[in-house]
Amino acid sequence: MPQIDLREIPVFPETVSEKLNDVVIDQAMKLSAEERQELVVSYVSKAKAIWLVQGSEGFVMFEDGDNVQLPVFPHRDLANRFIEINGVEGQSVSISLDELTQTWLPGLQKNGVELVMFPTQSDVENLVMTAEDLAAELAQ
């Protein structure tokens, strides 16, 4: 998968930013599924963290038949927008890149849990990666 150049997203910060403004968030939410996936891989590598949504009974997961999927986000503000748009009961939490690659991805792979790369709304196409594929992308 080609690495996305953050400069191709006109207002997405090239450097790690604590806070995204509404224009950047709105723009990121309108990216294609492929662009959102590339954004996760490229920004998480820089930020050294990934964001998940945690509810009262654990991390928010999508279930589709036998498939269980964990939504992941490149930035807290994007995870918070997902929570807001979809009426999810929960809060965004960060996982360090080291913890993700050393603990989470092996565990997700073992349990057959896939990753939904920066989902926006339920009626929008999202890309799914295996834990093994994300680990390989992050290792590049």
Is the domain defined by 6-139 classed in CATH 3.40.1350.90? yes
Q: How far apart are CA 135 and CA 32, in angstroms?
A: 22
pLDDT one-digit tens code per residue, 16-63: 778 888 888 888 998 999 999 999 998 898 899 999 999 988 999 998
Residue listed under structure tokens 């390989």: 136
Domain ranges within the chain, ordered by starting residue? 6-139
The per-residue pLDDT for 134 is 95
- Position 119 pLDDT exceeds 70: yes
CA 77/CA 109 separation, integer angstroms: 27
pLDDT tens across 84-93, in order? Answer: 999 989 999 9
